[in-house]
Amino acid sequence: MTNALLQTNQLHKTYGKRDTAYEALRGVDLSIAPGESVAIVGKSGSGKSTLMHLLAGLDTATSGSVKVGGHDLGHMSEGELSSLRNTKFGFIFQQFFLQPRLTVLENVALPLKIANISVAESNRRAMEALEQVELTDKAKNRATDLSGGQKQRVAIARALVAGPEVIFADEPTGNLDTQTGHTVIKLLFDLHRKRHITLVVVTHDADLAKLCDRTIIIKDGKIQ
Amino acid sequence: MKLLEYAKTGSSNLARSKSRTFLTVTAILVGTFTLAMVTALSQGVRHYIDAQIQAYGQPNTMSVQLKANTKDERRSANNVLEYDPTHSAATGTVYMTDADVAAVKKAAGVTGAYPVYKVNPDYIQAGSGKKYVVQLQANYPTANNPEVTAGKYPDPADKTAIVLPYAYIQTLGFASAADALGKTVTVGLSQAGDKPGQVLRSETVQFKVAAVASDTLHAPGATISYLEQADLASYQTAGKLKAEGLFATTDPNQTSAQTASMKSALDAGGYSAQTFADETAHFNTVINMVQLGLSAFAGVALLAAALGIINTLLMAVLERTQEVGLLKALGMRPRGIFAIFLSEAVSIGFWGGVAGVGLAIAIGPLIDRILLKSVFKGFPGTHILLYPATDMIFIIAGAMALGLLAGTLPALRAARLDPITALRHD
């Protein structure tokens, strides 16, 4: 697959050294096409989170390579990796990670602020992103005033705001009840289809995994 | 993110833990306040001493002595002075002559030279009041006059004018300095004979009070015209005027290099010159040492405060580890994280500096009142402490630099955090 957006080759990741060394990934070969949705499932400790972190350039491989649009992450400087995450990737976490001191709008605009985009432009685009998740009425609220489902929708807006090619979601429904979880998943997949955003989801949730084009099962650091 | 944005973020982060920020800023304040007070006091005392010295001499003046009094080729191998009718006296002191006056005047940069004659008056008296001991000094033509409390400094050629020292106002029975102006005072003097206690002749001279000199620590004598001083000296010595030194005025636009070459020219001619700057330099050295010593205490306080900044920021980094992880995941570069924490440290330094300097300026009037009632009693003017803007800005900038230095370690630690580990941190 030459047109792969994300591609790994014999990816290894070892934590610790010598006696305490622990091999989280033992040679993963994976290719994800643009616009594809992929669920990475596995038991806890299987290495699925590690795989996502390596794909997203949040962590570096012990050996093997990760290529994004043909560019090897291992050859990028920390600055290039930062700007890659800022402009091409969006992140959704189980714990939301909204900044409690900031308003909903400011939370959504954070990636644009980091990218040094003017406040007016950031706010305009953040408002657009909030429209996508139907939370424009909460723009001025503190992030702490929201329910869990609303917080995750804000996180989705934040992941969307910079117009990413890939959204990485780490257990996006892990902290939500089933009902709210469904709403969030529906929203995420609507955006994925409408905007052809590649989706990489790490999850335990079988319902969520079923919605993806492909499911990758990780066991003991390898793809099953 | 732009630099201003980092600074704003850093400053607003300080408000998150108000009491911690307050305590750290207070620690800086102790140091900067001490520095500002030491500076204000040193500057004030420097100015005060300049005023004191002006009672004896003014800028662009100097006193010139003969080097012959210390080192003389006319002395024999056994240090016995050869007799010279024009130069020497029985005491061995070499007096200056008109030739010396002319020689000094010729030196480049010297605008005037006047022989200094000593007058030993018996007393000074106002009306028929009590008589008091007094010293007389001469008022030579100079470019600028010393500060006065009342009146106008008289023309050096005005032989009837006298400038009274502040201490004599109440003593002689005047209600105030202004009250003394224009009043007549009498100075009595006599020519002493060779026998002990012998008085050959005596006279009284009337002067009109033209001005009252500012109060000084060492009350100097009353000042009269240099022409009158010469006349009185001539009376006391029966016309045998003896000048131990010269009072010379110099070009006010002289550069320090020109001053140095003027002094070396005089030195080559056999004269030693002490400029006003030479005399004040002596005092300034002492003040500088005191200032340095006190500043060292402030420095120790600031050093302790710097440790406080480090501690505060390390705690902030720990508290906000997860936030740092998120910012990194969202694409903030390590240098951005570094800048946020560093700007927090600089902000602490800035506010500590502003608060310290502000407090020092705020309590200045109170300290002034205490000083003027005790140590600096009778000082003309309403304040001793001086707060030069450049020095105060320098103190604030210094506190900021201290913050910059202290913040580096915690900011580096934050910048190096691994995003995944940081995000998992609670």
Distance CA A112, CA A130 (A): 14
Higher-scoring residue by pLDDT: A3, A51? A51
Burial class of B130 by CB neighbour count within 10 A (0 to 12, 13 to 18, 19+):
exposed
**What confidence category does residue B74 fall into, taking pLDDT thresholds of 50, 70 and 90?**
low
CA–CA min distance B2, chain A (Å): 6
- Helices B18-54 & B276-319 angle (0-180, nearest 10): 180
Q: Which residues of chain A lie closer than 8 angstroms to B422, CB-CB?
A: none
Choose between B92 and B52: higher pLDDT: B52
Give dist(CA B209, CA B179) in Å, integer.
10
Residue B101: per-residue pLDDT: 87
Determine the Cα–Cα distance for residues A6 and A195; give it in Å rounded to an integer: 18
- Give chain B's radius of gyration (CA, Å): 32
Longest dimension (CA), chain B: 106
Give the pLDDT of residue B60. Answer: 82
Q: How far is A84 from B87, CA to CA, in rounded Å? A: 94
pLDDT category of residue B239 using cuts at 50, 70 and 90: confident
Whether B63 shows a pLDDT value over 50: the answer reads: yes
**What token pair was written down for A79?**
């600055």
Quick check: A85 and B322 CB within 8 A?
A: no
- Count of residues making up chain A: 224
Look at residue B165 and tell me whether its pLDDT is greater than 70: yes
Residue A132 reports pLDDT greater than 50: yes
The CA radius of gyration of chain A, in Å to the nearest whole number, is 17
- Work out the percent of chain B whose per-residue pLDDT is above 90: 42
Between B48 and A88, name the one with better pLDDT.
A88
d(CA A199, CA A40): 11
More confident: B133 or B219:
B133
Q: Per-residue pLDDT tens for B273-315?
A: 888 888 778 778 888 898 899 899 999 999 999 999 999 999 9
Mean pLDDT of all residues belonging to chain B = 86
Rounded Cα gap, residues B377 and B281, in angstroms:
24
d(CA B298, CA B31): 5
Contact B331 A82 (CB under 8 A): yes
Is residue A200 within 8 A of residue A165, CB to CB? The reply is no
pLDDT of residue B398: 96
Confidence grade of residue B127 (pLDDT, cut at 50, 70, 90): confident
Other CB atoms closer than 10 Å to residue A132's CB: what's the count? Answer: 18
Global pTM exceeds 0.95: no
Q: What is the mean pLDDT of chain A?
A: 92
User: Do residues A37 and A214 lie in contact, with contact meaning Cβ atoms separated by under 8 Å?
Assistant: yes
Q: Which of A155-159, B25-29, B93-97, B406-410 has the lowest mean pLDDT?
A: B93-97
pLDDT of residue B102: 87
Q: Is the pLDDT at B72 greater than 60, yes or no?
A: no
Chain A positions in Cβ-Cβ contact with residue B418 (cut-off 8 Å): 59
Q: Residue B102: exposed, middle, or buried by beta-carbon count in 10 A (0-12, 13-18, 19+)?
A: exposed
The percent helix, strand, coil of chain B (3-state, each to 5) is 50, 20, 30
**CA–CA separation, B291 and B298 (whole Å):** 11
Please tell me which residue of chain B has the smallest CA distance to A113. Answer: B1
Q: CB of B32 within 8 A of CB of B356?
A: yes
Which chain A residue is nearest to residue B15, measuring alpha carbons? A101
Cβ–Cβ below 8 Å for A59 and B1: no
Q: What is the pLDDT of residue A1?
A: 47
Pairing of strands B243-250, B161-164: unpaired
Which residues in chain A are contacts of B319 at CB distance < 8 A?
A: none
**Span B237-252, mean pLDDT?**
85
More confident call, B185 vs A207: B185
Average pLDDT of the residues in A110-121: 93
A151-203 pLDDT, tens per residue?
999 999 999 999 999 999 999 998 889 889 988 999 999 999 999 999 999 99
> CA B404, B409, B410, B415: dihedral to nearest 10 degrees?
100
State the average pLDDT over residues B210-231: 82
Which of B4, B17, B330 to probe by mutation at the A interface, max A CB count within 10 Å? B330
**ipTM of the complex in this document:** 0.94
Ranked by mean pLDDT, which of B3-7, B10-14, B34-38 comes out on top?
B34-38
Average pLDDT over residues B138-144: 81
Phi and psi for B24 in degrees, rounded to 5?
-65, -40
pLDDT given at position A39: 95
Token pair 């995750």 is found at: A152
B1, A114: Cβ pair inside 8 Å? yes
Task: List the structure tokens of B26.
Answer: 């207070």
Closest Cα of chain A to B6: distance in Å?
A: 10
Residue with tokens 């890659």: A84
Q: What is the mean pLDDT of residues B56-63?
A: 76
Question: Are B333 and A82 within 8 A, CB to CB?
Answer: yes
Q: What is the mean pLDDT of residues B17-22?
A: 90
Q: What are phi and psi of A8, to 5 degrees?
A: -120, 150
The pLDDT assigned to B371 comes to 87
Contacts of B382 (CB under 8 A, 6+ apart): B368, B372
pLDDT band at B405 (very low <50, low <70, confident <90, very high): very high
Interchain pair A114, B5: CB under 8 A: no
pLDDT at B81: 64
Give the distance from residue A144's alpha carbon to the nearest chain B alpha carbon, in angstroms: 15
Measured CB to CB, residues of chain A less than 8 Å from chain B are 53, 56, 58-59, 78-79, 82-87, 91, 93, 97, 99, 101, 110-111, 113-116, 158
The pLDDT assigned to B162 comes to: 94
Residues of A in contact with B2 (CB under 8 A): 116
Q: Chain B residue closest to A101 (CA)?
A: B16
Q: Count CB pairs under 8 A between chains A and B.
A: 52
Determine contact, residues B361/B395, Cβ cutoff 8 Å: no
Distance from C-alpha of A73 to C-alpha of A75, rounded to nearest angstrom: 5
Residue in chain A nearest B423 by alpha carbon: A97
- Contact: B419, A101; criterion CB under 8 Å: no
